[in-house]
Structure formats: structure tokens, C-alpha cells
Chains A and B, each alone.
Chain A
Amino acid sequence: MFLTLLKREVFRYVKNPSVTIGTPILSQILYIIVFGLVLGPRIGSVANHSYISFMLPGLVMMALITNSFMNPGWSLYMARHFDWIDPILSSPMSSTQMVSAYILAGVLRGLLVGTVLIIVALILPGVVAVTHLPFVLIYLVVVAFLGASLGTIVGLWADKFDHIVLAQTFALFPLVFLGGVFYSLEMIEDIYILSILVKFNPVTHMINGLRYGMIGVAELYIPFGLTGLVLLSSALFLVCVWLFRRGYNLRI
């Protein structure tokens, strides 16, 4: 039951790789070329690393969270909009199984895009290799899980196509761009309010963790960030299960 829904959700993007996987990879590679290879040398080194090495974990996180978010978000919205969620809801599957399938499919898509990006980046000259592999793996999984859980909630909430774009534009993108993808915390020390807010942004902790895993640099306390992210992901998962059980925007 759960495996069939997971298979369906994975097939959904695997059969359209150019749209679902190719597009995000291409856009991130463009960021790498423009910001890393063209502008990077003019910016110089950040935290004793080339700009491209410093920026890359942020770009991977950006792609990872966006893709893991978009997959269940779109899929659930479409399934509700065209009512093909109904046969799933009237199957013997439990709410936990349904939520797990949607989230896991999103996690796998995020990991696929993230892993391809890391491999591409490692081929580039001047990029530091992975220094703490367990941290890289843990952060990739936790962040993908968090993104997919958020996407599941938005997929249930959205009444129209615009709502998903709205959530992405007004919530996800600001958090990602203000989460230190392109700058270090040291660079914004003088902007007091921003430097404080950024520390409360979960995306900053995601990028900080992956940056530690990849280049060994951490600007924030890793155990605190990781614990917070795990707790937040778990809470979001429970919210998803609760919404499914209640039949929020699923049942009349």
C-alpha cells in the first residue's frame, strides 16, 4: 500500500526528468557559474575558502529544500484538484502511510538533485571536497524531510495553483536567500537586525551544517541547529499526519 503510493510519487518525477530534475540542476549550475566562477574571484576568499566553495553548500541546500518542498506540494494539490486523491483516501492505507509516502518521495527527489549538484561541483576546479561525510548525509536527509513536510502542508492548504507559488515566493525564497547562501554571518555583522534574525532562520542552520560537512566551517553551534531541525521536522511530520487524519481539505 505505502510502497505503491511511494512508487507512484517517485515515477511521477522520474518519467519527466527534464522538467522535474533537469531544470533545478541547470538553474543551480548557472548560479555556480555566475556567482562562483565569474564573480567569486572578485569577491575573494570567505572564511579562508574560495567564494565558490563557501557558497556551494548554500546552493545545494537551496535546491534540496525547494525540490523536496515542491514535490509533495504539487502532487497533493493536483491530486486534490482532479480528485484522484479520492481512491487513495478510500483505500485501507492509514494516514501515517499516506503522509510517509508523499514525504519520502519528496525527500528522494531532494536528495537526487542535491547529490547530483554535489557531484557536479566536486568536478569543478578549486572546490573543497566533502570533509565530514556523516554531517553531509545527516543534513541532506533532515533538510529534505523538513522541506517535504512543509510541501505536504502547503499541498493540503492550497486551493489554487497560485497558493503554492505564493508560499514559495513569500515564505521559502526569503528564508533561503536570507539564510546565508551567498554571504557569511561576518559580512552582515553591521546590519544588526538582520544578523539577529538570520540566526533564528532555520535555513541558516541548514546551510551552516552542510557547510561544516563540506568545507569544515561552522559559524553557528552545530548541535543546537541540528537538534532544532530534527525537532522541527518531527513536529511538521506530526502536523501532516494530524491534517490527513482530520481530512483537512481532503474530506468534505
Chain B
Amino acid sequence: MTPTTTREPSRQPAIEALLADGTPTREQVDAFIAEHTFPLVEGAQVTFMYRGEASAVSLQHWIYGLESSKQFTRIKGTDVWYIVFTMRRESRVEYKFLVEHGDRRELVRDPFNDQLAHDPFGANSVCHTDRYAVPDWSLPDPEARPGVIEERIVASEAFGETRRFQVYLPARYRTTRRYPLLVAHDGSDYLRFSSLKTVLDNLIHRLEIPPMIVALSDPSDRLVEYAHDERHDRHIATEIVPAMTSLYSIVDAPGARGLVGASFGAVAALSTATRYPGVFGRLFLQSGSFAFTDIGTSKRGPLFEPVVDFVNAFRDDPVKPAERVAMCCGIYESLIYENRSMVPVLQSTGAEVRFFEARDSHNWENWRDRMREGLSWLFPGPLWMIYE
């Protein structure tokens, strides 16, 4: 039998109908804009629109493998620019417009689109195709009892200074009970850009993860400390963890102790887990910057050199970092190859590895959207047993 695949009929973008009879009038263009919202998602076709005087307009996105600047076309006789872009279903893309006025260029957010994603560098416009929706478990749920965030200070011998960190305590925290501990790298960014507190409140409320305590650590010099820096690993394993264990009621077992990090934070998490084997039983690596080389030198620049050395050494002689490792990466990231390559390496250590991908890029909302799948696998909640 010949296998058959179902394919949806390709639809003509609405803008092509507008342009079908040559140059539309200004009134027709105004009506078209008024009738639609932008970006206009029609199946796999997405139409972006910009209105304003400019010498050129282009779409700036962070999709690896696609030319990073896509030129808009001006509708003749108007100040309206458009581009039709093909995106796979379930895709989510962050973008900006590059508007040029002769030699002057400015990056602007899409004026027609009020959906934004924030990160430490500001905010981008967000476009997604059908079948993607912001997960309901990442939005505030009035039924979910809220946890609290506390500030803590620890004297760090590793860094020769005191370090501040935050702690998430679940709702109804009781000293008579013991809780799993998760240490999050870039904790403040997870809170601000990945809604981590809301996510934890909701997943705990839904019984999909157990009530847990999260230490939210922040670096001082991120790209140095997170690049397989012995001081960082020592700080987490021998300073943060013992401090947490003395301050809070925590299960003192590797299976109830985990690390999570994204990008360089994932490198730091893996580095800490491998330098202190047996301490952390759970590892969640999100879009890890696992740069390596098989032949020649890495082209990612000097900041990556210690990372390349670490990952090369790990690939040569992998050490089991944890009993369970959850990994995720966006398909549109430049790091997708490196992350996919790490899966068999981690599996070869005997670790149970789960890897999941999404049609998204290297950003905090992608990492937010993967939280449920990763955390509920690493720390399964009492979903089947509790009926309150």
C-alpha cells in the first residue's frame, strides 16, 4: 500500500486578493487594514503589515536557518508595506521591524500588534500560528493558592562576597512537612519573563507537581560564572543547597533535589551536576548553550571557549549528572543541533533522559511553555491520589 499523508489545501493570503487587480486605491488599502488584525494568520501564511514613510522595511526575527532580514514590499502609491511569510503550525516567533530612512535605521515593535514578550533586553512583538496558545497554566488562576517569594542572603566563600537570592515557598508551607528543592539559575529572569511563580502556583494547585521550594539564584557576571566556573558550581552545591536545607524543611535526597537553567544557565546546571555527582537527582536543561567542536575551533567567540572545552570533555567522557534529565530546545534556535546531539550522550551515562522540542526560539516564553512537561516529569505531583 502506498502511504498517504493528509495535507491542508494551501490558501491564498487575503492580501493577494487585494493586489490581484493591480494597484489598489488608498481607500481599498485602508478598508483592508481596518477589516483585519495583524499579523494576519491564515493557516501557514502570515501577513505582516507596516504603515509609515520609509525607504525600506524588513522583518527581523530570531529563527535560525532563515535569513534574518526579510524585506517588505511597498504597496504602490501608499505608505503601506507588507510581507507574507510562511510559518509551520504551532509556531511562535518573536520579531521586530527594521525601518530604514536613508542611512538612519531603527528597530521598532509591530505597531499593529500589542502582543509582546519581554526579556532582559526589552520586548519583542510576538506572532503565532494556529494551534499555539499561551498555556492556561501560565496565567494567573484565582483558584490557585499563591506561594510567597522571600529574600535571602548567603555568605559565599566561593565568590568571596555575600550573595542575595530569592526563595519560592509554596502556599501552605509547613515545617512539619518536607519539600523537594529546585535551584533555578537566572531566578529573577524566570520570575519576570517566564512567570515562574504563577506557573509553580498553578502546577502545584493542579497537583501536577508536588508543593516544592525553589531557590532562585542570580549571577553577578553571568557569562563567566555560568561557563563551567568552579566557583559557581561550588556556590550552588556547597553553599546554596546547605543554606536552603538549614533554613527550610527539605527532603534530603538526590531524587528530591534538582537544578534548572536556560541557555548559559543550562550549561551552569549541567556543570554543577557533573562536578558534584550524586547531589542532584533531577536536571532540567532548557536550550542549553552546549557549544562543542568535532573538528577545528568553535566560531561562537571567546565567551564560549570554556563552554566548548567543558562540553567537548563531557562528550568525550560523560558523567551521569542526575537520575533524570529533562531537556528542551526550540526548533528555530541555532542551538537545536547541539541540544539534539547531547541527548544520546546523556543517555549513554545511564540517566533517564526526556527531550522535547517546540516551534519556538531562544526566549523566556518558550522556556515558560515547556515548564509543565519538564517539571511534572522530574517531580511528579500527587495528581492521582489527592481529591480535596
User: Do A and B truly interact?
Assistant: no
Chain B residues within 8 Å of A, Cβ to Cβ? none
Chain A residues within 8 Å of B, Cβ to Cβ? none
